[in-house]
Chains A and B, each alone.
Chain A
Amino acid sequence: MKNSFKVFNIIFKDRFYTVALNALFQYVLYTLFLLFLVFFYNVNDYLVKVGSKVTFYAFFKKDIANENIVKLKKIIENWPEVKSVKIIKPEEGIAILKRSLGKESGILNTLDTNPLPVTLQINIKPAFTEKFYINQISDRLKKFEMIEWYDTTEKYIGNIISVRKNMTNIFIGGIALFLFIIFLALRIMSRGFINKYAQSIQLLKMLGASRAFIVIPFIVEGFIESFITSLLSTATSVYVVSYLQSELTELGFTILSLPLEVYLLFMLLVSAIGGISNIPGKKLL
């Protein structure tokens, strides 16, 4: 097979500009793709964090004995959906309220007595944040007579949880579509370039070159070209993310970089796409 590379270098030696143009095109495509990936990764991370923090607040009736409160806490702690349970005493509750109101907390000073009851803060495990489990927990809480009423953050973030699910589907579809577009674009572009060499390929066949003899150097060239451009795109994307990280941290935002294995998988995948899309069309072979 070494001979096929030698022949390739002799016959197709004037490919520098076409290869460079193709590489530039790939660089732009891959960089856009990676930035799209970073954007979604961060949106998804935000939604996961928010969506996984479902908390119930169960407010006790007045004058419930402390030992009964502790007993109920232990029962709820044993529920499979529950991550942790905390008792919030009225004075703690008012302190929390003051903190959350900030400058406007002065209004609470006008109160003669603390109106807040003893409260149970029930944190739900991230795996049980869907509507079905939330309803189950709600039904169970309703049965306890010592609980006056309860509230859950799920009703505020329920939409986020369902959006996140749809987002994941849209994202997977988006990646597949993007990769397919990359493949098609590269195929059309590479074939356009390769068709210029139709006569040379026909002549190689006439002289006895097999299909593999002709095709393998094209595949290797496409693979290397895509690997190098994907490496450059990865470097660009990492640079853009680190730049945004330094700029946005001052504004209170955090931006995450993609995990290393995502970059490696991306490079491997697009290199393979580059190699395959560089195969001359069937008509030429």
Chain B
Amino acid sequence: MIRFENLSYSYPNKTGGLRDINLTIEKGSFVCIYAPSAEFKTTLLNLIYGEVLPSSGKLYVLDYTFPEDRKKISRLRKKIGYAFHPFCFFDDLTVRKNLIVNLLIKQTERHLKHIESIVDETIQSLTKLNPLELVKNLSYSEKQILNIVRALIGDPLVLLLDDPFKHLDKEEIEKWMKLFVEKSRSGITVVATVSNPAIPQLYGIKAFFMKKGRLLEEDEK
């Protein structure tokens, strides 16, 4: 469960930010947040991920409360899969090694062979990526797919997806949306930001609109 309680966030040297956010996202629900760019959608996800801390108010993510639990951020991150925007990869490593590193950090599994087999299986079942290709040689859409796969791998409890459909074609969007819906049904909480409001509408997903740092429900828009 994720709960924002009168939460505000302002950037140290910037005007604007999030204002008075009150939102509860239940376990296993799928929520979309959409807005044009520069409306702090990423900031909202970064708050859930502990990358930034609230300026005021409270944020409850799984068993952690922020800002109090700021020293437990790395523990929280092990339970969250995050498709970053912009991408954050080890560009000089292969697709496979990027995923292995992610799993080694997130899991306590010690047998490298077992981790490698999970990675190989995931790449094969979900993508057409060449596991031995260096990330720096991938196209934008391939990087986006790797970004999503990295967030999914390792059975996270929360899935944060920052503009996950950018650079993807219609077919790919449909494939991944189906998978995210499946994941939420299996109990994973999914929070995605999108620039295109048609996507949540099309899949009947609860959506919020961000305007001037405030979070509005569809009908308040």
Q: Are A207 and B102 in contact, CB atoms less than 8 angstroms apart?
A: yes
Q: Mark B102-143, 1 if CB is under 8 A from A, else 0.
A: 101111111010000000000000000000000000000000
| Residue from B51, B80, B82, B90 in contact with A200 in the complex, judged by beta carbons closer than 8 Å | B90
When A11-B101, A208-B78, A209-B74 are in contact, do A203 and B108 touch as well, CB less than 8 Å? no
Please give, as numbers and ranges, the residues of chain B lying within 8 Å of A4 by CB-CB distance: 104
Q: Are B84 and A206 in contact, CB atoms less than 8 angstroms apart?
A: yes
Q: Are A10 and B100 in contact, CB atoms less than 8 angstroms apart?
A: yes
A204 to B78, CA, bound (A): 12
Q: Are A208 and B101 in contact, CB atoms less than 8 angstroms apart?
A: no
Please give, as numbers and ranges, the residues of chain B lying within 8 Å of A2 by CB-CB distance: 110
Q: Is A168 an interface residue (CB 8 A)?
A: no
Q: Is B3 an interface residue (CB 8 A)?
A: no
Q: Are B104 and A208 in contact, CB atoms less than 8 angstroms apart?
A: no
Q: Are A7 and B51 in contact, CB atoms less than 8 angstroms apart?
A: no
Q: Are A213 and B74 in contact, CB atoms less than 8 angstroms apart?
A: yes
Please give, as numbers and ranges, the residues of chain A lying within 8 Å of B51 by CB-CB distance: 206
Please give, as numbers and ranges, the residues of chain B lying within 8 Å of A10 by CB-CB distance: 93, 97, 100-101, 104
Residues of A within 8 A of B (CB): 2-4, 6-7, 10-11, 200, 203-211, 213
Q: Is B198 an interface residue (CB 8 A)?
A: no
Q: How many residues of B contact A (CB 8 A)?
A: 25
List, sorted by A's number, 28 A–B pairs whose CB atoms are closer than 8 Å. Answer: A2-B110, A3-B105, A3-B108, A3-B110, A4-B104, A6-B104, A7-B101, A7-B104, A10-B97, A10-B100, A10-B101, A10-B104, A11-B101, A203-B88, A203-B89, A204-B105, A205-B74, A206-B51, A206-B77, A206-B84, A207-B88, A207-B101, A207-B106, A208-B76, A208-B106, A209-B105, A210-B74, A213-B74
A211 to B73, CA, bound (A): 11
| Residue from B105, B108, B109, B112 in contact with A207 in the complex, judged by beta carbons closer than 8 Å | B105
A207 to B74, CA, bound (A): 8
Question: Chain A's nearest CB lies how many Å from the CB of B74?
Answer: 4
Which residues 62-103 of B have a CB within 8 angstroms of A? 74-78, 80, 82, 84, 88-90, 93, 97, 100-102
In the complex, residue of chain A having the shortest beta-carbon distance to the beta carbon of B97: A10
Please give, as numbers and ranges, the residues of chain A lying within 8 Å of B80 by CB-CB distance: 208
Q: Mark B172-216, 1 if CB is under 8 A from A, else 0.
A: 000000000000000000000000000000000000000000000
| Residue from B105, B108, B110, B112 in contact with A208 in the complex, judged by beta carbons closer than 8 Å | B105
Please give, as numbers and ranges, the residues of chain A lying within 8 Å of B89 by CB-CB distance: 203
Q: Are A206 and B101 in contact, CB atoms less than 8 angstroms apart?
A: no
A2 to B76, CA, bound (A): 20
Q: Are B77 and A208 in contact, CB atoms less than 8 angstroms apart?
A: yes
Q: Are A3 and B84 in contact, CB atoms less than 8 angstroms apart?
A: no
Please give, as numbers and ranges, the residues of chain B lying within 8 Å of A209 by CB-CB distance: 74, 105
What are the 3 closest A-B residue pairs judged by CB atoms, nearest first?
A: A208-B77, A210-B74, A3-B104
- Which residue of A3, A11, A204, A213 has the most chain B CB atoms within 10 A of its CB atom? A3
Q: Mark B43-70, 1 if CB is under 8 A from A, else 0.
A: 0000000010000000000000000000
Question: Chain B's nearest CB lies how many Å from the CB of A5?
Answer: 10
Please give, as numbers and ranges, the residues of chain A lying within 8 Å of B106 by CB-CB distance: 207-208
